[in-house]
């Protein structure tokens, strides 16, 4: 790297070597905690990425590069409460488009769309302001991690209810064993790092 910090020429797409280096940087800043939050679970923590400016820039570079290569132009980024808020605004800024939060129940004023979904124990609900998204608008949903896919799946249903066109769901980390991608019902999906 020439030390330029962000993206070195991501306008024209990155070469394979740059992509590999950025992915390595992202992967080595994901910390693993065994037996958290309970016995037998390996917790993948993305917080160290935020502490390391080059790793954070690499995440945004990689997402930007990926989305610019798609034939469909993204018009809006939606981030899931709360960690989608960490990456979504920076990516939206980089693409020159808006960012909209999808919140947990009861956090948004005004008219809302609402979608409930099943959790391991009980139910949860996510919400989106009705004026935040237009019908037919091409959107990308972002979160930090795909595990069982409950929240991201619900977000897809929420956006369909709003009449938006989901270009793709993107996450930093995908836990392959949990097969959360099934819950997205064939919505295109992209992850930077898989475990």
DSSP element (H, E) containing 80: strand 76-80
In whole angstroms, what is the distance from residue 147 CA to residue 91 CA? 22
How are strands ordered across the β-sheet holding 76-80? 112-118, 123-129, 98-104, 76-80, 138-146, 165-174, 189-194
Options 83, 94, 103, 127, the catalytic residue: 83
Query: How big, in percent rounded to 5, are the helix, strand and coil portions of the chain?
Result: 35, 30, 35
Residue 125 known to be catalytic: no
- 120 as an active site residue: the answer is yes
Q: Which residues are catalytic?
A: 83, 120
């Amino acid at each position: 790297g020439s030390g330029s910090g962000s993206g070195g020429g991501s306008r024209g797409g990155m070469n394979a070597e740059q992509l590999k280096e950025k992915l390595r940087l992202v992967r080595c800043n994901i910390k693993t905690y065994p037996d958290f939050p309970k016995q037998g679970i390996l917790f993948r923590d993305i917080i160290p990425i935020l502490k390391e400016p080059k790793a954070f820039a690499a995440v945004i570079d990689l997402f930007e590069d990926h989305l610019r290569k798609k034939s469909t132009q993204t018009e809006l980024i939606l981030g899931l409460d709360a960690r989608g808020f960490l990456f979504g605004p920076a990516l939206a800024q980089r693409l020159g488009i808006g960012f909209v939060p999808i919140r947990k129940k009861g956090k948004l004023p005004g008219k809302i769309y609402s979608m409930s979904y099943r959790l391991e124990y009980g139910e949860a609900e996510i919400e989106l302001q009705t004026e935040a998204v237009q019908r037919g608008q091409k959107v990308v949903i972002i979160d930090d991690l795909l595990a069982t896919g409950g929240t991201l799946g619900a977000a897809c249903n929420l956006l369909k209810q709003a009449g938006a066109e989901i270009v793709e769901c993107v996450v930093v980390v995908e836990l392959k064993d949990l097969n959360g991608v099934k819950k997205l019902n064939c919505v295109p999906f992209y992850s930077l790092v898989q475990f």
